[in-house]
A and B are shown apart, each in its own frame.
Chain A
Amino acid sequence: MRNRPWLYLAPALILLITFTYVPVANMLYYSFHTWDGLDVTMDPAGFGNYIRVFTDEQYWRVFLVSGYYLVASFAQIAIALYFAVVLSFNVRFKNLFKGILFFPYLLNGVAVGFVFLYLFQPDGTLDTMLRAIGLGEHTQYWLGNPDIANFSLAGTSVWRFTGLNFVLFLGAIQSIPGEIYEAAEIDGANRWHQFRHIIAPGIRRIISLSFILAISGSLAVFEIPFIMTGGANGTRTFVVQAYQTAFQFRQIGLASAMAVVLLLIVLVLTWVQRRILPDDEVTLT
């Protein structure tokens, strides 16, 4: 009878330990070794793998690529915030606009990749539209030119994920009681005052959370570059690089070192977030 709760917990705990904690522990161990994933023995490598991650350009370059996605996600937060504020007031066809802005987030990543491959291909939709409005000389190899490819991919990422930020912000704004706006209006506050003094403080937490998620999210970008360019033309992100290192070049040790670095960055960011935003503010969202 004593051990009853453990019976209920066992399936969840066993899965949790097998597929989260054991891999993390193994990953740490692999990261200090050289291993191809098949050999029975691994050779100790000390900090060699970590040194390579930070000194070999092929590996540290991926951090720079994350920069594109990071900047893009700030734009994404701004766009989402604008539309969340607009749609929190009286607007005709509110639900239609809300639905349209949100639903790219639900779409299959491979399908989104193909939709944008089609959009960006030479003489594709984007080029045709630019010509139609007289900007024909600005057509580019949107995905083929290494100077531009990352902008195109980051733009695709904004298209795909803005809806999530938007719905989270809208939800937070709508959880502010309506009477507060009414009282403010009676006191003569205009829309800007309402935004500045009612909406902004009310959604501060979800916005800070979005910034933290934007940083860890931009390091973990995988699907869009992998599907659209396969990491070619300088678009290799951290996870694409780790995938290729581990599963194409079979350098499990090196790939593990990359993953450990990424994991540490995410953990530090979360710790910072917890320090800035204590949990007792949770009630707002």
Chain B
Amino acid sequence: MRTLARSAKYASLVIASLVVLIPLVVVLFAALKTHAEYNATGPLTPPRNWLNFDNFATAWTAGNMLRGFWNTTVILVISLSGTVAIGTLAAYAISRFAFRLKRLVLGLFLVAALVPGVTTQVATFQIVKSMGLVNTQWSAIVLFLGTDIVSIYIFIQFMQSIPLSLDQAAMIDGAGRFTIYRRIILPLMKPAIATVVIIKGIAIYNEFYIPFLYMRSPDLNVISTALFRFKGPYGAQWETIAACTMIVLLPTVLIFLLLQRFIYNGITAGATK
């Protein structure tokens, strides 16, 4: 009985792993096949030459992926630095100052966290348009900065665990409010900043709706929209689409392997708020 239960347990784990991996592995197979080989062999047949990277080269140039990665990186760097700066400043005000309307401000952030961003795009689009930001990278950047409430929560929570006596000691030494924020609080916030950078970074890298809606020009493609553009014209060349899909997935796999522990913690912290 014991062994039966044990084997059932391992069997279920192996089956689940296969269900996760097979869809991805067959796409990798397709990406490494030549066009003739792709047409002649079934999807489960491994490629003849594991080092055939021709499709990757085709996908890279045809999809202008260099530009896609560059645009994604620019948006990532500006949005993430902005989120950290704006979020920690707001958290500092809320956790270290006593002021009227504080409850109201907290309530505003709390209720906003409930509004799913995807529902308000109809109206948000008109606002972004009236600011003249449609078809610029700034549309994505302001939206990533402006619709981020979870990060502020993570910052507030972490900041509340930093003892007030540190602030008071610095104040006795004559430090101003901003110096305390910059010199004492911000360096101690590193773990929370890492969490926010990881979860928000992955979310921005994967975001499709906002760049698709606001940045229609091919020059502004991020990796999601660059990949999406393969859908029509390359319908008959699955090996190219497969290669491009792999190009998009590879950075995520690498980041996951390198930062596993931080990612698990970050996801748990972000989702249960």
Q: Chain A interface: which of B48-56, B186-194, B241-249?
A: B241-249
User: Interface code A92-127, partner B: CB below 8 Å = 1, 0 otherwise?
Assistant: 100101011111111111110011101100001100
Cα–Cα distance between A143 and B86 once the two chains are bound (Å):
44
Q: Are A110 and B208 in contact (CB under 8 A)?
A: yes
Q: Are B208 and A109 in contact (CB under 8 A)?
A: yes
Q: Given the known A-B contacts A19-B127, A23-B127, A242-B122, are A86 and B24 also in contact in the complex, defined by CB atoms under 8 Å?
A: no
- Min Cβ gap B27→A in Å is 5
Q: Are B13 and A27 in contact (CB under 8 A)?
A: no
A186 at the binding interface (Cβ < 8 Å)? no
Q: Given the known A-B contacts A125-B26, A262-B119, are A101 and B17 also in contact in the complex, defined by CB atoms under 8 Å?
A: yes
Kindly identify, within residues 161 to 214 of chain A, every residue whose CB is under 8 Å from any CB belonging to chain B: 164, 167-168, 171, 206, 209
In the bound complex, residues from chain B placing their C-beta under 8 Å from that of A53 are none
A residues near B, CB below 8 A? 4-9, 11-13, 15-24, 26-27, 30, 37, 79, 82-83, 86-87, 91-92, 95, 97, 99-111, 114-116, 118-119, 124-125, 128-129, 132, 159, 164, 167-168, 171, 206, 209, 216, 220, 222-223, 227, 239, 242-243, 246-247, 252, 255-256, 259, 262-263, 266-267, 270, 285
B252 at the binding interface (Cβ < 8 Å)? yes
Cα–Cα distance between A266 and B152 once the two chains are bound (Å):
21
Cα–Cα distance between A4 and B97 once the two chains are bound (Å):
9
Q: Are B264 and A102 in contact (CB under 8 A)?
A: yes
Number of residues of chain B lying within 8 A (CB) of chain A: 84
Cα–Cα distance between A103 and B21 once the two chains are bound (Å):
10
In the bound complex, residues from chain A placing their C-beta under 8 Å from that of B230 are 114
In the bound complex, residues from chain A placing their C-beta under 8 Å from that of B87 are 12
Q: Given the known A-B contacts A21-B108, A83-B16, are A108 and B206 also in contact in the complex, defined by CB atoms under 8 Å?
A: yes
- Min Cβ gap A163→B in Å is 8
Q: Are A86 and B12 in contact (CB under 8 A)?
A: yes
Q: Given the known A-B contacts A171-B268, A222-B209, A267-B114, are A5 and B127 also in contact in the complex, defined by CB atoms under 8 Å?
A: no
Q: Given the known A-B contacts A107-B249, A110-B224, are A256 and B122 also in contact in the complex, defined by CB atoms under 8 Å?
A: yes
B residues near A, CB below 8 A? 9-10, 12-13, 16-17, 19-24, 26-27, 30, 42-44, 85-87, 89-90, 92-94, 97, 99, 105, 108-109, 112, 114-116, 118-127, 142-143, 145-147, 149, 152, 177, 181, 202, 205-206, 208-209, 213, 223-225, 227-228, 230-231, 238, 241-242, 245, 248-249, 252-253, 255-256, 260, 263-264, 267-268, 271-272
In the bound complex, residues from chain A placing their C-beta under 8 Å from that of B145 are 15
- A/B interface sample: 17 pairs, CB < 8 A: A5-B99, A15-B86, A21-B108, A82-B12, A99-B256, A99-B260, A105-B267, A115-B23, A118-B26, A118-B43, A125-B43, A132-B44, A171-B268, A209-B272, A220-B118, A227-B208, A285-B268
- Min Cβ gap A219→B in Å is 9
Q: Are B223 and A108 in contact (CB under 8 A)?
A: yes
Q: Given the known A-B contacts A24-B115, A86-B12, are A19 and B143 also in contact in the complex, defined by CB atoms under 8 Å?
A: yes
Q: Are B119 and A263 in contact (CB under 8 A)?
A: yes
Q: Are A168 and B271 in contact (CB under 8 A)?
A: yes
Cα–Cα distance between A285 and B85 once the two chains are bound (Å):
27
In the bound complex, residues from chain B placing their C-beta under 8 Å from that of A270 are 114
Q: Are B248 and A30 in contact (CB under 8 A)?
A: no
Q: Are A108 and B112 in contact (CB under 8 A)?
A: no
Q: Are B12 and A8 in contact (CB under 8 A)?
A: no
Q: Taking each of A4, A8, A87, which has the highest tally of chain B beta carbons within 10 Å of its own beta carbon?
A: A8
A-B pairs, 8 with minimum CB distance: A19-B146, A15-B146, A12-B90, A8-B93, A5-B97, A23-B123, A27-B123, A5-B93
In the bound complex, residues from chain B placing their C-beta under 8 Å from that of A5 are 93-94, 97, 99
When C-beta atoms are compared, the residue in chain B nearest to A205 turns out to be B272
Q: Given the known A-B contacts A101-B20, A171-B264, A222-B118, are A91 and B97 also in contact in the complex, defined by CB atoms under 8 Å?
A: no
Cα–Cα distance between A20 and B107 once the two chains are bound (Å):
13
Q: Are A164 and B271 in contact (CB under 8 A)?
A: yes
Q: Given the known A-B contacts A104-B20, A164-B271, are A111 and B89 also in contact in the complex, defined by CB atoms under 8 Å?
A: no
In the bound complex, residues from chain B placing their C-beta under 8 Å from that of A21 are 108, 112
